[in-house]
Amino acid sequence: MTKGARSRLSLLLDIVSVGILLVLLALVVRSRVFVDAPPAALNRVIEDSLWEAAWAAARHRGASDASVRILQFSDLECPACRRLAQELHSAGLDTIEDVAIGFLHYPLAQHRFAMRAALVSECAAARGSFWAAYDSLLARQDDFGLLPWSRILGDSVDEQGLDECVSSAKGSRLIESHRSLGRRIGIPGTPAVMINGLLLAAPPTAVTLDSIVAAARGTQP
């Protein structure tokens, strides 16, 4: 074999060796991805009695007996909860006649002002303005702890009256009852969304909401 032929053969063997190593590396990486990746989360149907109990306990926007009922467990300091509210609005679901939206409190311990915001919203509910407070609190999360709650709400309530209301045990008992329902259902975090008893694996986008609600409306008699 000539010197040139030997050089070409050596180069060919080097190329083949590198190719084999790359294939083996790809197989190793692929196997690690499959081993380490958690199983895909799935939507889950909630037991009827538990679903109805949760819906009955919620604050409702729209007719409580609407054919499509969207229920959320939410934390008023949670940025993802604010995004969900925006998605619901983008999909127009807060204004459609046969769609109702329900709200249950699930303030998280890691959010410093979440419990206080929940209590403030319940004080607003006592005056018949829960949903206005809900919209204001979510929109002004960045003001929590920086401005008086009465200014965040943007209505005529005075701060002293609000403090007295927040100090009442009534709101705390209601919020804890909502948390208890969330634990029984096994919600994965906030926001947790259920539509007609189906617990979604992840917060939906406006597009996802459109398709799910369309399907739910199509199944109604």
Residues 29 and 79 in one domain: no
Are residues 125 and 100 located together in one domain of the fold? yes
pLDDT at 13: 41
The contacts of residue 198 (CB under 8 Å, 6+ apart) are 43, 44, 45, 46
Note whether 103 and 150 are same-domain residues.
yes
> What six digits make up the tokens of 193?
């969304």
**Number of structural domains the chain divides into:** 2
Q: What pLDDT is attached to residue 186? A: 94
Q: What is the DSSP string of the chain?
A: --HHHHHHHHHHHHHHHHHHHHHHHHHHHHHHHHHHSPPPP--EEPPHHHHHHHHHHSEEES-TT-SEEEEEEE-TT-HHHHHHHHHHHHTTTTT-TTEEEEEEE---TTSTTHHHHHHHHHHHHHTT-HHHHHHHHHHTGGGTTTS-HHHHHTSS--HHHHHHHHTSHHHHHHHHHHHHHHHHHT--SSSEEEETTEE-SSPPPHHHHHHHHHHHHHT--
Domain match, 54 and 86 both: yes
Question: Phi and psi of 102, rounded to 5°?
Answer: -115, 150
Question: Which residues of the chain fall short of a pLDDT of 70?
Answer: 1-41, 155-157, 219-221
Cα–Cα distance for residue pair 115/149, rounded to 1 Å: 13
Same domain as 27, residue 96: no
Q: Are residues 111 and 80 in the same domain?
A: yes
Query: Tens digits of per-residue pLDDT, 69-87?
Result: 999 999 999 999 999 999 9
Residues 103 and 17 in one domain: no
* The predicted structure's pLDDT at residue 144: 96
pLDDT of residue 154: 79
Domain range enclosing 154: 44-218
Q: Are residues 10 and 53 in the same domain?
A: no
> In the prediction, which pLDDT does 1 show?
54
Distance CA 152, CA 180 (A): 28
Query: Do 23 and 121 fall into the same domain?
Result: no
Same domain, 10 and 114: no
What's residue 4's pLDDT?
53
pLDDT at 9: 44
Q: Tell me the per-residue pLDDT of 142-166, one tens digit each, with 9 for 90 and over.
A: 999 999 998 898 765 677 778 888 8
| Residue 210 and residue 176 share a domain | yes
pLDDT of residue 98: 87
Domain CATH for 67: 3.40.30.10
Indicate whether 21 and 91 sit together in one domain: no
